[in-house]
Structure 1
Amino acid sequence: MQEIGRMVTHFTLPVVQAYMQHVQANAEESVRRVLDALHDGHFRYEMDDGNAVEVDIRVDRDNRRAVIDFSGTSAQHPGNYNAPVAVCKAAVLYVFRTLVDADIPLNNGCLKPLETIIPEGSLLNPVYPAAVVAGNVETSQVVVDALFGALGTVAASQGTMNNFTFGNARHQYYETLCGGAGAGADFDGTDAVHTHMTNSRLTDPEVLEWRFPVRLESFAIRRGSGGAGRHHGGDGTVRRIRFLEAMTAAILAGHRRVPPYGLNGGRPGALGRNWIERSDGRREELGSQAEVEVRPGDIFVVETPGGGGYGAPEN
């Protein structure tokens, strides 16, 4: 607010407001130019629990507008995967901004040529008091990949934040884990990155081990987990954490049953996996969601998904 105040003092309020409108008008026209080259599309993307995000994109070339219709999406979730409307609109804004081949600031002007239909009582427009904790971190990723699938532009990325938490009475920790990015028509997916609706970074290993009673046994690229294709998907990662104290550990993730899709003949990325290696040698497989008690010597292993490939493999 102080910086805006300085701008107003220096340039006057009418000038500042005029340039704010210029920025939005430029963003609006940039998205309209994108719509000039797009076609109608439809995509249904199922989540691991069987719920799905479904989207129809209808492009009106004459008026240079588009309707983004989520009417086929599953009903409000009985658990916590519901995403508030703001999360869905943010995903739409993000996707269409990525299609603009110009260096413009992200702003609401991008949404002016777009009409978004999100039925009330659905997974993407829940009614209070619906639980929404996983909506921002997991369902948002599904929305983005469903939109890219309908547009046919980019194969699915890992599509999950792989939310990993652990703690006890003295320590609490939360991290999200990177994976493979989806490939496109003229590029390979990137290995071991946070994709789309994430912007977080991992704690440095030295800091993690100094502050918490754990040991990072290894953190590596999961070679071969990206989907094959003319352009291959990015590889996921493998993370192994050994516990030195008794704690409760939990994973909230996706794409443990449904793989990240490939496009135009590209192969899907590898599924993510989680398991516990007990200190006595036993191994316990875990699903998309799990909460377990860990003891000293136990290792929690997370393999994150790879991205989908684009185009049929040449061999």
Structure 2
Amino acid sequence: ERLDFSCAVFDAQGHLVANAPHVPVHLGAMGEAVRALITSHGEHLASGQVYLDNHPAHGGSHLPDVTAISPVFVPRQPRPAFFVATRGHHADIGGVTPGSMSPLSRRLDQEGVVLDRLLAVDDDHLRESALRAALGAGPFPARNLPERLSDLAAQIAANRHGALVLQALAARHGLTEVHAYTRHVQANAAHCIRGALSALLAGRDGLGGTFTDALDDGTPIAVTLRIDAGEQPPDTCRLSVDFTGSGDRHPGAFNAPRAVVRAALLYVLRCLVPDHIPLNEGCLWPVDLHIPPGSLLDPPPDAAVAAGNVETSQRVVDVLLGALGLAAASQGTMNNVILGFANAQYYETLGGGSGATVFADGADAVQVHMTNTRITDPEVLEQRLPGLLLRSFTIRRRSGGDGHQRGGDGLVREYQLLAPAVLTLVTQRRLRAPFGLAGGAAGQPGRNLLVRAGNSQILPPVGVWQLQAGDVLSIETPGGGGYGRRLAQGHPQASR
């Protein structure tokens, strides 16, 4: 119901060609996972195989996001002609807390089971024993194994369908022509990005600047951008992106794998283009990217990353758009709510306000930027989790920042516990408000509120709590920042 999964097609080198309109933080990172498989297993790839990987060092986002990768062969070709991959967020993959999203983790192995290019299907046969052994390994094995196997089977089936469609396409048009068009799609994306960069320059030889924001604990996220026209704009325009000045490895789980930062950049670049083009590797051809090794944006392989994928990625997008001067901060968080009951685990992310732009007000109560998931319907939520009651789900009026263009409003989602549960919250923008831009006002920060026996308690942005039957949890999500100073009285944006 939440659609927290993504499907994509890759060329023979593992570069993204096209994708379904799913989750940006998945799509921009999956190519690194495919290329890591080619590098390590290139000589052993065969038709009828599916590999599973969630390791952040191989292009993974965080451990609950498991990627299924299939090489696609066509007749008379000794090597894969394409790759197809799916990435899905699983309700649990192990770890110290139910839902595998503990913000208190210090090491990757505390966040769940690590699948390192595991061969799950060989010669079209599921290696169920090997899969069960992998999911049950280590000090914090995956919970609810039957559900995990069913969800992985769905990913494998999706890969199978994608492979069959690609093989049929190659049979109909010829592999040479299909390969040529995969290249055309990427080259067109690069051309569109260069055109967008040229428009930002507006006749200048160069444009650049540094923009910095921070997580709620003060960890800085900094970026310096430079757009150069080259000798023959727009075809020679290039963008330099440097994250020097960002914080060192985070001691907790807010490290974002390099692939996630790359995904955030790819998303921002795609947003610059008004044309209907698929998100693909060509968007990055005109870009030079530097991420300081060992920082929280390129952490060591053993670093905890559960929160970096969902929270730090949002901050990366905000600073990129801020540096370009195009949009105020959006809610800057996915508002992750994870509940572990006796026999079930549940995870959802909540929308909020999007930042205003030079062109328009922000949108109210929407998933923004690196997430593109739905919210679970109340009926489905309560049917599958009889220990939970949804009391209210409303827009948080007047939480967006004022300005010439107003920031979007956040939302309020209120749950009542009917049975004990372990609550994990991974949220941001509770202590630092979403910034306004060009004189616009900041949006309202979010708030996490627990009511027990009539007594209210504000919960911190991240943490793990044991909830009791009767507890009420209220999540108020941030509004987006405003853009520009509000005009004189009577301006049409003065009221909503």
State the AA in 1 paired with 2:179: Q
SS of residue matched to 2:260: helix
State the AA in 2 paired with 1:4: L
SS of residue matched to 1:147: helix
Tell me if 1:258 matches 2:432. Answer: yes
Tell me if 1:113 matches 2:281. Answer: no
1:17 alignment counterpart: 179
Indicate the larger mover: 83-92 or 8-17: 8-17
Tell me if 1:239 matches 2:413. Answer: yes
Shift of 1:171: 2.6
Q: Match for 2:371 among 164, 180, 198?
A: 198
SS of residue matched to 2:422: strand
The within-5 A match list for 1:22-171 is 22-38=184-200, 39-62=207-230, 63-171=236-344
SS of residue matched to 2:244: coil
CA distance in structure 1 between the aligned counterparts of 2:460 and 2:380, rounded to whole angstroms: 29
SS of residue matched to 1:290: strand
CA distance in structure 2 between the aligned counterparts of 1:109 and 1:281, rounded to whole angstroms: 56
Q: How many residues align?
A: 314
TM-score by length of 1: 0.98
Shift of 1:285: 1.0
CA distance in structure 1 between the aligned counterparts of 2:384 and 2:439, rounded to whole angstroms: 46
Q: Match for 1:292 among 435, 458, 465?
A: 465
CA distance in structure 1 between the aligned counterparts of 2:179 and 2:418, rounded to whole angstroms: 57
CA distance in structure 2 between the aligned counterparts of 1:262 and 1:253, rounded to whole angstroms: 20
CA distance in structure 1 between the aligned counterparts of 2:310 and 2:367, rounded to whole angstroms: 12
Q: Match for 2:397 among 223, 227, 246?
A: 223
CA distance in structure 2 between the aligned counterparts of 1:209 and 1:10, rounded to whole angstroms: 48
SS of residue matched to 2:256: coil
For structure 1, the residue ranges without an aligned partner over 5 or more in a row are none
Q: Which has the larger radius of gyration?
A: 2
State the AA in 2 paired with 1:22: H
- Percent of aligned positions with the same letter in both sequences? 50
Tell me if 1:186 matches 2:359. Answer: yes
Deviation per residue, 1:267-287 (Å, 9 max, x gap): 111000001001x21111111
Deviation per residue, 1:288-313 (Å, 9 max, x gap): 11222211111001000001111102
Shift of 1:246: 1.4
State the AA in 2 paired with 1:92: L
2:45 alignment counterpart: none
SS of residue matched to 2:430: coil
Shift of 1:83: 0.7
TM-score by length of 2: 0.62
Indicate the larger mover: 230-239 or 7-16: 7-16
Indicate the larger mover: 224-233 or 6-15: 6-15
Indicate the larger mover: 233-242 or 201-210: 201-210
CA distance in structure 2 between the aligned counterparts of 1:11 and 1:253, rounded to whole angstroms: 49
Tell me if 1:8 matches 2:182. Answer: no
SS of residue matched to 1:37: helix
Asked which structure has the greater RCO (Cα within 8 Å, sep 6+), the reply is: 1
Indicate the larger mover: 88-97 or 160-169: 160-169
CA distance in structure 1 between the aligned counterparts of 2:227 and 2:359, rounded to whole angstroms: 24
State the AA in 2 paired with 1:240: E
For structure 2, the residue ranges without an aligned partner over 5 or more in a row are 1-162, 201-206, 231-235, 490-496
Shift of 1:66: 1.2
Shift of 1:214: 1.3
Shift of 1:37: 2.5
CA distance in structure 1 between the aligned counterparts of 2:383 and 2:277, rounded to whole angstroms: 41
Deviation per residue, 1:157-200 (Å, 9 max, x gap): 10100000112322321110110011111111000000000021
Shift of 1:241: 0.4
CA distance in structure 2 between the aligned counterparts of 1:274 and 1:75, rounded to whole angstroms: 28
2:152 alignment counterpart: none
CA distance in structure 2 between the aligned counterparts of 1:247 and 1:105, rounded to whole angstroms: 41
Shift of 1:20: 1.1
Shift of 1:206: 1.1
CA distance in structure 2 between the aligned counterparts of 1:102 and 1:168, rounded to whole angstroms: 46
2:141 alignment counterpart: none
SS of residue matched to 1:56: strand
Deviation per residue, 1:51-96 (Å, 9 max, x gap): 0110000111114111100011111111111111110001000001
CA distance in structure 1 between the aligned counterparts of 2:279 and 2:414, rounded to whole angstroms: 37
State the AA in 1 paired with 2:389: R
RMSD: 1.0
